[in-house]
Amino acid sequence: EVQVVESGGGLVQAGGSLTLSCAGSGFTFDDSAIAWFRQAPGKGREGMACINTSDNTTVYADSVKGRFTISSDIAKGTVDLQMNSLKPEDTAVYYCAVSEIYIQTIGVVAPVVFDHWGQGTQVTVSS
């Protein structure tokens, strides 16, 4: 059975850092696109970053480029999202999701493209 589990969320002050981790199993981990989405109250689900684990290529939304870094660890079966210089507007529930297609642009990182989802982890950035 496919499992996707996020961890690492919490409360952090503006300017601080958090690292989220996504543990995946039950699929071909090294030949997938694994993305991080976030959803703030009253907002749609926003794709922020995605990694193609087959070749480690990545795409980022402009809003997080330079602050967030996505990486994969095949041996551990995890994908991390390193978040630096956090802002209050980063406050949201963060989701990890898995797709079978190769992702070439951030525009393709939309919920409909992703087949398997974690339950989400809350990130709250205080001012």
pLDDT tens readout for residues 48-86: 999 999 999 999 999 999 999 999 999 999 999 999 999
**What confidence tier does 101 reach under pLDDT thresholds 50, 70, 90?**
very high
Reference 70, options 101, 107, 97, 110; nearest CA is 97
Please write down the HEC assignment for all residues of the chain.
CCEEEEECCEEEECCCCEEEEEEEECCCHHHCEEEEEEECCCCCCEEEEEEECCCCEEEECCCCECCEEEEEECCCCEEEEEECCCCHHHCEEEEEEEECCCCCCHHHCCHHHCCEECCCEEEEEEC
Which residues touch 42 (CB under 8 Å, ≥6 apart)?
none
Give the pLDDT of residue 34: 98
| Averaged pLDDT for residues 110-124 | 98
Task: Please tell me the distance from the alpha carbon of residue 55 to that of residue 47, in angstroms, as a whole number.
Answer: 20
The torsion angles phi and psi of 107, rounded to 5 degrees, stand at -65, -25
